Structure 1
Amino acid sequence: VNYLTHIAMEVREILAELGFRSLSEIIGRTDLLKQIARYEYDRLDSLDLNPILVRMPLSHSKDKLKDRNYRKEPIGFNLDEQIIRDAAPVLQGKGSISLYYEINNTMRTIGAKVSGLISKQNGDTGLSNGTLEINLEGTAGQSLGAWLVKGVRINLMGDANDYVGKGLCGGIITVKPHPRSNLIPSENVIIGNTCLYGATGGELYCSGRAGERFAVRNSGANGVVEGAGDHFLEYMTAGTVLCLGSVGMNMGSGMTGGIAYFYTKDWELAPLMNSEYVEFGNMEEEDFLKIQTLLENHVKYTNSESAGTLLKSFEQEKQFFFKVQPKK
Structure 2
Amino acid sequence: MLLNFLYFVSFIMGFCECKCQVTNPAIDPLREGLVMSLEVNLGKRGNILEIGPENASQVILSSPVLNEGELESLLKDPYLKAQVLHTFFNIRKGVDGSLEKALTKLCEAADEAVRNGSQLLVLSDRSDELEATRPAIPILLAVGAVHQHLIQNGLRMSASIIADTAQCFSTHQFACLIGYGASAVCPYLALETCRQWRLSNKTVNLMRNGKMPTVTIEQAQKNFCKAVKSGLLKILSKMGISLLSSYCGAQIFEVYGLGKEIIYNLGLGAEQKLLQVEFSITGVWGWILFEARVNDFLTIFGQVRGMLAQLGYEKLDDIIGLTELLRSRDISLMKTQHLDLNYILSSVGLPKWSSTMIRNQEVHSNGPVLDDVLLSDQKVSEAIEKELVVNKTVNIYNVDRAVCGRVSGVIAKKYGDSGFAGQLNLTFTGSAGQSFACFLTPGMNIRLVGEANDYVGKGIAGGELVVTPAENTGFLPEDATIVGNTCLYGATGGRVFVRGKAGERFAVRNSLAQAVVEGTGDHCCEYMTGGCVVVLGKVGRNVAAGMTGGLAYILDEDDTLIPKVNKEIVKIQRVVALVGQMQLKSLIEAHVEKTGSSKGAAILKEWDKYLPLFWQLVPPSEEDTPEACANFDQTATGEVTLQSA
Following the alignment from structure 1 to structure 2, what is the Cα–Cα distance between the partners of residues 315 and 267? 17
Following the alignment from structure 1 to structure 2, what is the Cα–Cα distance between the partners of residues 39 and 84? 59
Following the alignment from structure 1 to structure 2, what is the Cα–Cα distance between the partners of residues 207 and 108? 21
2:145 is the counterpart of 1:145: no
The within-5 A match list for 1:71-86 is 75-86=366-377
Which amino acid is 2:391 matched to? S
Which amino acid is 1:98 matched to? N
Following the alignment from structure 2 to structure 1, what is the Cα–Cα distance between the partners of residues 157 and 588? 58
Following the alignment from structure 1 to structure 2, what is the Cα–Cα distance between the partners of residues 189 and 126? 35
2:617 is the counterpart of 1:324: yes
**Gap change, CA 1:313 and 1:321, over 3 Å in 2:** same
Residue of structure 2 in register with 1:113 after alignment: 406
Partner of residue 462 from structure 2, selected from 163, 170, 173: 170
Structure whose residues are more often helix by fraction: 2
Partner of residue 217 from structure 1, selected from 509, 521, 526: 509
TM-score (norm. length: structure 2): 0.40
Partner of residue 572 from structure 2, selected from 266, 280, 287: 280
Partner SS state of residue 482, structure 2: strand
Shift of 1:94: 4.6
Shift of 1:39: 5.1
Residue of structure 2 in register with 1:61 after alignment: none
Following the alignment from structure 1 to structure 2, what is the Cα–Cα distance between the partners of residues 120 and 144? 20
**Gap change, CA 1:38 and 1:290, over 3 Å in 2:** closer
Partner SS state of residue 194, structure 1: coil
Tell me if structure 2 keeps the 8 A contact 1:126–1:151: no
Shift of 1:291: 1.3
Shift of 1:145: 0.9
Give the structure, 1 or 2, with the largest relative contact order (CA under 8 Å, sep 6 or more).
1
Shift of 1:37: 7.7
2:255 is the counterpart of 1:255: no
**Gap change, CA 1:241 and 1:37, over 3 Å in 2:** closer
Following the alignment from structure 1 to structure 2, what is the Cα–Cα distance between the partners of residues 207 and 119? 29
Shift of 1:35: 4.4
Following the alignment from structure 2 to structure 1, what is the Cα–Cα distance between the partners of residues 372 and 157? 56
Partner SS state of residue 193, structure 1: coil
Q: Which runs of 5+ in 2 are unaligned?
A: 1-14, 20-150, 161-363, 622-645
Following the alignment from structure 1 to structure 2, what is the Cα–Cα distance between the partners of residues 89 and 166? 26
Residue of structure 2 in register with 1:202 after alignment: 494
Residue of structure 2 in register with 1:3 after alignment: 17
Tell me if structure 1 keeps the 8 A contact 2:388–2:421: no
Residue of structure 2 in register with 1:298 after alignment: 591
2:381 is the counterpart of 1:88: yes
**Gap change, CA 1:37 and 1:275, over 3 Å in 2:** closer
Q: Write out per-residue CA displacement over residues 124-166 of structure 1, whole angstroms, 9 at most, x where no aligned residue.
A: 114337x101100011111111110000011000110111111
Following the alignment from structure 2 to structure 1, what is the Cα–Cα distance between the partners of residues 584 and 433? 30
Shift of 1:262: 1.0
Tell me if structure 1 keeps the 8 A contact 2:387–2:420: no
Following the alignment from structure 2 to structure 1, what is the Cα–Cα distance between the partners of residues 18 and 538? 41
Q: 4+ runs of 1 displaced by more than 4 Å?
A: 32-35, 37-41
Tell me if structure 2 keeps the 8 A contact 1:126–1:149: no
Following the alignment from structure 1 to structure 2, what is the Cα–Cα distance between the partners of residues 265 and 207? 18
Partner SS state of residue 400, structure 2: coil
Residue of structure 2 in register with 1:10 after alignment: none
Q: Write out per-residue CA displacement over residues 212-247 of structure 1, whole angstroms, 9 at most, x where no aligned residue.
A: 000110000000011101111110000000000111
Which amino acid is 1:3 matched to? E
Partner SS state of residue 82, structure 1: helix
Which amino acid is 1:147 matched to? F
Q: Identify which range, 215-224 or 282-291, moves more after superposition.
A: 282-291
**Gap change, CA 1:96 and 1:320, over 3 Å in 2:** same
2:481 is the counterpart of 1:189: yes
The within-5 A match list for 1:30-45 is 35-36=154-155, 38=157
Tell me if structure 2 keeps the 8 A contact 1:215–1:233: yes
Shift of 1:95: 2.4
Following the alignment from structure 1 to structure 2, what is the Cα–Cα distance between the partners of residues 92 and 38? 64
Residue of structure 2 in register with 1:22 after alignment: none
Residue of structure 1 in register with 2:72 after alignment: none
Following the alignment from structure 2 to structure 1, what is the Cα–Cα distance between the partners of residues 401 and 570? 34
Q: Write out per-residue CA displacement over residues 65-106 of structure 1, whole angstroms, 9 at most, x where no aligned residue.
A: xxxxxxxx9823311111112201101125211111111111
Which amino acid is 2:560 matched to? E
Q: Identify which range, 151-160 or 80-89, moves more after superposition.
A: 80-89
Seq. identity, % = 39
Following the alignment from structure 1 to structure 2, what is the Cα–Cα distance between the partners of residues 133 and 251? 33
Shift of 1:40: 6.9
Residue of structure 1 in register with 2:452 after alignment: 160
Tell me if structure 2 keeps the 8 A contact 1:127–1:152: no
Tell me if structure 1 keeps the 8 A contact 2:523–2:544: yes
Q: Which runs of 5+ in 1 are unaligned?
A: 6-31, 42-72
Structure whose residues are more often strand by fraction: 1
Which amino acid is 1:230 matched to? D
**Gap change, CA 1:126 and 1:305, over 3 Å in 2:** farther
Following the alignment from structure 2 to structure 1, what is the Cα–Cα distance between the partners of residues 492 and 620? 22
Tell me if structure 2 keeps the 8 A contact 1:167–1:198: yes
2:621 is the counterpart of 1:307: no
Aligned residues: 270
Give me the CA root mean square deviation: 2.2
Which amino acid is 2:372 matched to? E
2:387 is the counterpart of 1:101: no
2:520 is the counterpart of 1:228: yes
Tell me if structure 2 keeps the 8 A contact 1:283–1:322: no
**Gap change, CA 1:249 and 1:94, over 3 Å in 2:** closer
Following the alignment from structure 1 to structure 2, what is the Cα–Cα distance between the partners of residues 284 and 137? 40
Following the alignment from structure 2 to structure 1, what is the Cα–Cα distance between the partners of residues 366 and 504? 29
Tell me if structure 1 keeps the 8 A contact 2:387–2:421: no
Tell me if structure 1 keeps the 8 A contact 2:389–2:424: yes
Larger radius of gyration: 2
Following the alignment from structure 2 to structure 1, what is the Cα–Cα distance between the partners of residues 388 and 157? 72
Partner SS state of residue 458, structure 2: coil
Partner of residue 239 from structure 1, selected from 502, 521, 531: 531
Following the alignment from structure 1 to structure 2, what is the Cα–Cα distance between the partners of residues 183 and 77? 35
